[in-house]
């Protein structure tokens, strides 16, 4: 009821009295009973870190980078409900970052939305980040670097120990640098010619391997086993509990750090005349060499230790240990001898 007739003597006064109700109908809500906007992004991040942040060191570190450098400075004081698709998409498109990085930032904001719904801070509904489109999300700015056999051997010739053996282990097993640095001598099966991948180390913090499929026993060809035996006879830290690539600067308590390895590789790549080399280039090279020696895609998935074969090449299958050993031996032959007898001819 707007009022008595005596209070609204004209049509104009009646319209003025009805205006607040008209606006409520247009908005579809009662301005006095609107749902709360939810917590600020800053407070939600604090809850997320305490309750839902992944425990794996590398994953936590990545999330915290996106939060600290991008999300909190831009949106920290806003309510989470203000982070709608259009606002976030326009902001992401204005950042001078690779599309892949933008996808990670969008994913982190999406996790915050999911966390707010999980806590009951906002109604459970479709996550608005599903509507955010990132241009070129499936494209890389730079193509991953893979070394030819000849380039790798030139690179290897510029490395002293233990960096030479480390490079051989990485390129012959397709290891992530975090996995190779985390090896202990007890992981090497000297009699069974194998090595166990049981852990990784990131920022000098020991953690689990990246995926369940990443942790497994890998075959070691006799030549590569010989290289490990040679380094074992020279290192100051040969005990079973010691790191294979222990740092003398840390008195063997920790392996060499990623940053130290990266600097050594960069310098060796330049000295070899092939330009700076990143640590992941050896894993990419391993994948290329598996192709070159005619390894089936199912075997490649097992050797690369991908949880999903689509990561390798959108095909799946199973393999037997003998096939893995044969493919591994061919790659070791390329790395140590430059032998290309096993290569498929075009």
Predicted confidence (pLDDT) per residue in 123-157, tens digit: 999 999 999 998 876 555 566 678 888 999 999 99
* 230 and 87 inside one domain: no
Are 210 and 333 within one domain? yes
Residues 41-67: what's their mean pLDDT?
Answer: 90
Residue 250, helix vs strand vs coil: helix
Residue-averaged pLDDT of the chain: 82
Specify whether 124 is located in the same domain as 256: no
Q: pTM of the predicted model, to two decimals?
A: 0.64
In this structure, is residue 10 part of a structural domain? Answer: no
Quick check: is 295 in a domain?
yes
Q: Let me know whether 267 and 319 are in one domain.
A: yes
pLDDT tens-digit profile of 23-44?
555 555 444 444 457 899 999 9
Q: Is residue 17 part of a domain?
A: no
In a shared domain, residues 327 and 262: yes
Residue 16 — very low, low, confident or very high, per pLDDT cuts 50/70/90?
Answer: low
- Identify the H or E element spanning 222: helix 222-234
End-to-end CA, the chain:
87
| pLDDT at residue 229, rounded to an integer | 96
User: CA–CA separation, 345 vs 293, rounded Å?
Assistant: 9
Does 299 share its domain with 325? Answer: yes
Domain containing 237 equals 149-337
Q: Measure the CA–CA gap between 23 and 17, rounded to whole angstroms.
A: 11
Q: Kindly state whether residues 52 and 183 are assigned to the same domain.
A: no
Q: CATH number, domain at 284?
A: 1.10.443.10
Q: Quick one: pLDDT at residue 294? A: 78
Residue 7 lies in a domain: no
Would 141 be classed as within a structural domain?
no
Residue with structure tokens 């075959």? 219
Is the same domain home to 193 and 286?
yes
Task: Give the neighbor-by-neighbor strand order of the sheet with 194-196.
Answer: 188-189, 194-196, 217-219
> Is the domain of 102 the same as that of 168?
no
In a domain, 197, yes or no: yes
Does any domain span residue 27?
no
Asked if residue 329 is part of any domain, the answer here is yes
Q: Which of 70, 99, 131 is the last residue of a domain?
A: 131
- Number of domains composing the chain: 2
């Amino acid at each position: 009821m707007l009022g008595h007739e005596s209070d609204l003597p004209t049509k104009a006064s009646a319209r003025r009295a009805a205006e607040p109700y008209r606006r409520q109908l247009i908005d579809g809500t009662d301005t006095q009973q609107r749902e709360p906007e939810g917590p600020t992004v800053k407070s939600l991040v604090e809850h997320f870190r305490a309750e839902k942040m992944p425990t794996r060191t590398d994953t936590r570190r990545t999330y915290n980078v996106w939060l600290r450098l991008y999300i909190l400075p831009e949106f920290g004081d806003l309510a989470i409900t203000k982070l709608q698709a259009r606002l976030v998409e326009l902001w992401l498109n204005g950042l001078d970052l690779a599309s892949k990085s933008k996808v990670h930032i969008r994913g982190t904001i999406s996790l915050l939305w999911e966390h707010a719904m999980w806590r009951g801070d906002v109604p459970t509904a479709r996550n608005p980040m599903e509507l955010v489109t990132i241009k070129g999300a499936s494209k890389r700015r730079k193509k991953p670097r893979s070394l030819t056999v000849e380039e790798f051997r030139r690179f290897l010739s510029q490395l002293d120990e233990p960096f030479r053996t480390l490079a051989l282990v990485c390129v012959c097993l397709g290891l992530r640098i975090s996995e190779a640095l985390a090896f202990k001598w007890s992981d090497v099966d000297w009699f069974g010619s194998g090595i166990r991948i049981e852990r990784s180390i990131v920022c000098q913090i020991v953690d689990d391997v990246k995926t369940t499929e990443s942790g497994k026993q890998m075959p070691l060809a006799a030549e590569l086993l010989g290289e490990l035996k040679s380094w074992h006879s020279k290192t100051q830290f040969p005990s079973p509990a010691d790191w294979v690539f222990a740092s003398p600067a840390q008195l063997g308590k920790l392996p060499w750090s990623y940053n130290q390895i990266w600097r050594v590789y960069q310098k060796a790549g330049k000295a070899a005349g092939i330009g700076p080399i990143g640590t992941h280039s050896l894993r990419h090279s391993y994948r290329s060499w598996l192709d070159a020696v005619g390894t089936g895609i199912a075997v490649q998935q097992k050797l690369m230790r991908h949880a999903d074969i689509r990561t390798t090449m959108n095909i799946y299958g199973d393999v037997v240990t003998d096939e893995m050993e044969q493919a591994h031996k061919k790659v070791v032959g390329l790395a140590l001898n430059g032998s290309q007898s096993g290569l498929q001819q075009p």
